[in-house]
Structure 1
């Protein structure tokens, strides 16, 4: 199980943190004003480390930043591929190549590299890791340690080599742990990681950890806590998770559910410099404004975002999105009178209330029912919506687990639940409808790649991808990487050669309304969508990176489509000319 999945599983357990719990500030861990001279040298001069009474250490900009600007880029201090990716990606640069294109370590036979260059660059980590992995396999264990354990091991070995006074080790030690706020639901994970790490390092007892600069069991617990609350998921160019990483400079950036920046891995450098983490501005950022990214999936509604943040990061978010009194489109249903407005979705045990200032139009009493934000119509089918939300969440959880082990069953769950949630009135951006739509799109795309292409499956994938794009557009900022990738997927689907173009509809009106279209109209739509996707990718993955690897692919698709449309139009023009000439000959 990958570290991301391990954390997600823990988040399903009850949380004992009260809603007003706030992280304590670890003032002893805050570097002095001159600390940046010896530490965090990868952070540019226009970004300053400051301390807030609310969020602790963070990064502020001293000059204005533009959307798509790369604020800074660093290689993680340490990173480890998830187990399922070990044979598919290089463990140094995380580049893909598949088993056939990679070279396996001849000793442990578990780690793969692009070539000898990547192997030599990773030797500082793999030298000890290789011995540890051989020891694990020799002991008869069938499962190799998770990415979390291997990532922790890599930190410990480099920490031992660098020494406690090195800037590298000091930056690791300055990561905030919040160990005082660790809740009982987190003890199991921390204990499991600590015990597994000791075993992986080949130690017979926790006391032997002193050789790595860890003085006691309490220090080990603090070290594990720092790791858990400061781990980043490394992703591929399409945002699929690859493994775990730690980067103290990037960890200085605080959280917002409505971030002004994102952390991405565009893969825009030679392999020897990858995987490179880049912090990219999503919008204009003013002088003396704090740089903020999102630690969690911000397509989730407020209650789930807050629970996830309290469980993993031990704080409650008070960003503008979380404190807004406006209806959140992540958690809404359409107006029952179809006026175009939305109603806040009801919650278990009570109806969702509007602000106290909202009253019944005629009697002035406080509104106790969820009502449309535009026409104030009351949502009467509360039980139906609650049932749909509960069943939808259960199906999403199960379908997500089955996505790779039983994709057919996962797809079946999605196809059954999406119509139920839609008929219950959920908007395309509401959870769990949006999540199921995105998962179903991914499963349909995988089907198209692994089996013979059918017109029905292709059209269904286009429709599903369109709904996902529409939902994401309502809740994420322009240029957000998730939006850009979703739009690129839609454009690529529209650009796929149709195996059997449909015959024209019975009437021109029906043909105009049919979606997706066919023929030249479909190609023109694909071109428009890909041009929009390229613009968004250029923001989310950084303008200097041309939208990252996906952005460069989109550019090639655009060139191909423009050429194809040109040929199409030329052929149509020539056909019309020939037809006119034939008519002229017949008349003469």
Structure 2
């Protein structure tokens, strides 16, 4: 199991505490709107953290501890800074699908397997040579595990911890690299009892993986005692980032002290991504990208958790994993402010104006009315709370089944989405949004491939395609996926109807569908340029959309030309008949 997915296991067993999302730092709680800051730690920045650019300063806030502040303005889509992780490891299920050095995608025939451990794969000899200083220790450890009769490969967490330890041993305790690792925030003294199992498991498994037979041997890694090892494990758990591919699919675990300096906000102004914009040997490269305008002397903030969750769930996740309560502007908003993440439509005005009622406690029978105060008492409390409970259970189960039994997962999402909708939940509310996004992904994965010998008819294929388009539209996310779905050749295009009928049809057909696809892809590329960096052209996905946009423009041009020629031929034929 990937370290990035351990949180799901912890929720099932009520025992583990681990990060599960992209930006997992690190220093302390989220900032308040106007934190008091102390002077920048210039000496620290100059002696270690050399990958941080000069216009970023490490400052200490009275509310959130250390963080990063910018001294110059940053624009949306600007790469604030980029670094390679100090250490990274692929999850077990990705070992034969990606290069363990650059994390580039391949398969077990295009990638080259290490002939000694036969576990790790590389793109080519270049990636293998770059990784060898660390892999030579890892290789011996993996061979030792194989010869001992163990059948399971250590998780990405253990292998990432091992890589850090071996590099500590090589760099020495006084090196800048090791000092950056040691300056990571540790919450070892504050962890809850429910977290002991994870920390103990990681520490014991790491000792076995390193092949240590006595406590004294840990001294060779710059640690004096078991307490030092416990603090090291705590720093890892609190400061782990999930490496993702350009489509944000989790690939493995990584640690980056410079990026870990960034504090949390549920309303972030920046994001950490892996856009894959450099040659493979320089990957995986972490980039911190501005999501909006950031003014001079403003703190850089990212989100450690899924910000589509309601406030209560966000706060619970942050307290459980990072041991703080968030005080960001979103969490500190007034109680009567409608949060779309936890809202249902007002029965008195379900369409316009969009008055909503806030579910202030997700799974407790407590509702409060939103402005305006004239909204009557909500009478569907029990129905909504039952729908929320069942919807959350279905989401958890469908998420676990999405790869092992996608048909069952799709059955669950198909059944629950109408129930939550009829209960009055708005499209961006939880868990309706999460179920809709998962349902869309399952529909797309189930679409018949163009070259496959599909037993379904063109009409059935058209219905599946249109269903996926509608679901992607409702998911209010993934514009690139929606645009590409609209651009797929229609297996059975609808015959034109009246102007009124065609205006009401969604998705449209023919040229109107292609124009909508083009508009959607152009919009998606603009958003990707912000999310993955304008200099990266939106990363791999954004650069791919450029080709799709050019193809659609060409196809629409040919369509227009064909229609023009048909109209011209019709006019000429009419003139010929009249003469």
TM (normalized to structure 2)?
0.91
Q: How does 1:425-504 map to 2 (within 5 A)?
A: 425-448=424-447, 452=454, 454-469=461-476, 483=477, 486-504=478-496
Say if 1:68 and 1:541, in contact at 8 Å, map to a contact too.
Answer: yes
Deviation string for 1:278-303 (max 9, x for gaps)? 00111111111100000111111111
Q: 1:23 to 1:41 in 2, by over 3 A?
A: closer
Say if 1:91 and 1:113, in contact at 8 Å, map to a contact too.
Answer: yes
Say if 2:97 and 2:106, in contact at 8 Å, map to a contact too.
Answer: yes
- Does 2:570 correspond to 1:571? no
> Secondary structure at the residue paired with 1:141?
coil
Q: How does 1:175-574 map to 2 (within 5 A)?
A: 175-325=184-334, 326-337=337-348, 338=350, 339=352, 340-345=354-359, 347=361, 348-353=363-368, 370-371=369-370, 373=372, 376-448=375-447, 452=454, 454-469=461-476, 483=477, 486-505=478-497, 507-574=498-565
Q: d(CA) in 1 for partners of 2:215 and 2:393?
A: 40
Q: CA deviation at 1:209?
A: 1.8
- Does 2:136 correspond to 1:127? yes
Q: CA deviation at 1:215?
A: 1.3
Q: How does 1:60-79 map to 2 (within 5 A)?
A: 60-79=69-88
For structure 1, which runs of at least 5 residues remain unmatched after alignment?
354-369, 470-482
Q: d(CA) in 1 for partners of 2:29 and 2:299?
A: 20
Q: CA deviation at 1:350?
A: 3.0
Q: d(CA) in 2 for partners of 1:24 and 1:412?
A: 40
Deviation string for 1:444-496 (max 9, x for gaps)? 11112666481111111111110112xxxxxxxxxxxxx5xx11111111111
Q: CA deviation at 1:351?
A: 1.7
The more displaced of 136-145 and 224-233 is 136-145
Say if 1:132 and 1:202, in contact at 8 Å, map to a contact too.
Answer: yes
Q: CA deviation at 1:510?
A: 2.1
Q: CA deviation at 1:15?
A: 9.4
Q: d(CA) in 1 for partners of 2:462 and 2:148?
A: 52
Q: 1:375 to 1:86 in 2, by over 3 A?
A: farther
Aligned to 2:158: 149
Q: d(CA) in 2 for partners of 1:148 and 1:260?
A: 29
Q: d(CA) in 2 for partners of 1:467 and 1:375?
A: 30
Deviation string for 1:54-105 (max 9, x for gaps)? 1111000111111111100000000000011100000000010222211111
Q: 1:393 to 1:492 in 2, by over 3 A?
A: same
In the comparison of the two structures, how many residue pairs are matched?
Answer: 548
- CA RMSD, 1 decimal: 2.0
